[in-house]
Structure 1
Amino acid sequence: MPVVVTRDLSVELGGGTVLDRVNLTADPGQIVAVQGVNGCGKSTLLRCLSGLLRPGGGEVEVLGAPPSADAAFWREVGLLAEEPAWYPGLSVREHLELVALTHGGAAPVDRTLDDFELASRAGASPLTLSSGQRQRLALAATMARPSRLLLLDEPEQKLDAGFRDRLARMIRAYADAGGTVVLATHDAALVAAMDATSLRMRDGRVTRPGPVAA
């Protein structure tokens, strides 16, 4: 059974068409990478899949039902979109401990700190981290907990080449374990390294598979 299905998904914002009859399917174990220039509709598509934006037309099903604000939905879905609002009084470690406390079965915090190259900054406030370190923390908070679906909006942003390679391996391992990933990205090398299904978007429509220049 597909994890994600859209049928003729359409969105209009500000009097313009942002998504135009988008059809998409993502199965268990599949990575779907949506590529296209800025403004083509990638982020809007992810917002519809997460339930943060209600489409104007068509249908969206995630895990067999429309996206929901219920806690049960978010136990199954991990979302990386805009940078989170960090708690100024909590350290990097404490943010990840909060994730582990909230979501049973999360990866051990020490292992997560190592995996995301944050161990040396575990005691720091996220507000003092570099932009790349904050991106790694956001990824850690999204990926360290159990889920069946990851929705990732340009996860490669602000990451150096070495960590992009590591991220590709992490996402591939998540899918190989049965998880499903839908991500928006400009990075064709990342798509290739993940062995993802590539969909090309232009002017709100899925046109054909294939890479797109950033």
Structure 2
Amino acid sequence: MIEIKELYKKFGKNEVLSGLNLDIEQGGIFAVLGPNGSGKTTLIKCLLGMVIPNKGEISVMGKNIKSDSSYRHKIDYLPQIANFPNNLKVRELITMIKDLRGKVQLDQELISLFKLEPYLDKKLGNLSGGTKQKVNLVLTFMFDSPLIILDEPTSGLDPISLLRLKKLIQSEKAKGKTILITSHIMSFVEEISDQIVFLLEGKIYFKGSITELKDKTNQPDFEHAIASILTDNHA
């Protein structure tokens, strides 16, 4: 599904990605983790074509993204912060995105799932952060793409909406989709992920299951395993 070879990216003198190599198989939920500054956001933006690497190759669904940008139409992306036009109503925004991308079948189903009916005619600038995140999720999942990238998807969600999101992600996985997630909520990551991709100083430090990570770090639980990596590498 995704193949990355020797990826380098510098911002000025700061090398954010330094020879990163990563293969992501088709199907399953992959959590991309790492401390602040480890390169998570840069990696995702390189995948999306929003940041151009200095060196290296990225292939998505068998196509080198440098020579073919059509792959982007097969990715659904949830940004960490959605900057919506404040004066637009929720219904107007959903309609606009549908007109831009087309082939939508799931918008009404998702509006019902996240109980957004009372907000459809409200302006986005008047919504709470949690409600904006629900709108963000509707816009992401209403397209039937094989690759889904979710950057901090739990942000601002109440417990019931979080449960609905977990079920939604699992149902997308059951369709054979590949889902990449970044999150600082370790309990969410542990519950939902098939594999962990841990970045450290611009490289892949670990890729595998949570059980394998606990074995590697000799720790009894996931949070202590993550803490162990960070402690060992900042001692």
- TM-score with structure 2 setting the length: 0.80
Could you tell me which residue of structure 1 aligns to residue 28 of structure 2?
30
Could you tell me which residue of structure 1 aligns to residue 185 of structure 2?
187
Contact 1:168 1:194 in 2 (8 A): yes
- Bigger relative contact order, structure 1 or 2, given CA contacts below 8 A and separation 6+? 1
* Structure 1 residue 88: Cα displacement: 4.0
Q: Which amino acid aligns with 2:198?
A: R
Q: Which amino acid aligns with 2:21?
A: N
Q: CA–CA distance in 2 between the matches of 1:200 and 1:98?
A: 36
**Equivalent residue for 1:64, pick from 62, 69, 88:** 62
Could you tell me which residue of structure 1 aligns to residue 196 of structure 2?
198
Alignment of 1:73-84 (within 5 A): 73-84=71-82
Change (3 A) 1:37 1:29: same
Contact 2:149 2:180 in 1 (8 A): yes
Q: Which amino acid aligns with 1:179?
A: K
Contact 1:99 1:106 in 2 (8 A): no
Return 5+ residue gaps in structure 2 as ranges.
208-212, 214-221, 231-235
Could you tell me which residue of structure 2 aligns to residue 150 of structure 1?
148
Could you tell me which residue of structure 2 aligns to residue 18 of structure 1?
16
Q: CA–CA distance in 2 between the matches of 1:102 and 1:139?
A: 17
Could you tell me which residue of structure 1 aligns to residue 217 of structure 2?
none
Residues 1:125 and 2:123 aligned together: yes
Could you tell me which residue of structure 1 aligns to residue 5 of structure 2?
7
- 3-state secondary structure, aligned to 1:45: helix
Residues 179-213 of structure 1: per-residue CA shift (max 9 Å, x gap): 11122221222222223311111221211244536
Q: CA–CA distance in 2 between the matches of 1:138 and 1:58?
A: 31
Q: CA–CA distance in 2 between the matches of 1:108 and 1:156?
A: 20
Pick the structure with greater CA Rg: 2
Q: Which amino acid aligns with 1:145?
A: F
Q: CA RMSD in A?
A: 2.3
- TM-score with structure 1 setting the length: 0.87
Higher mean C-alpha deviation, range 124-133 or range 80-89: 80-89
Change (3 A) 1:204 1:177: same
Residues 155-181 of structure 1: per-residue CA shift (max 9 Å, x gap): 122223332232122112112102111
Identity of aligned residues (%): 27
Q: CA–CA distance in 2 between the matches of 1:84 and 1:35?
A: 21
Q: CA–CA distance in 2 between the matches of 1:24 and 1:71?
A: 20
* Structure 1 residue 70: Cα displacement: 7.2
Q: CA–CA distance in 2 between the matches of 1:93 and 1:152?
A: 22
Could you tell me which residue of structure 2 aligns to residue 103 of structure 1?
101
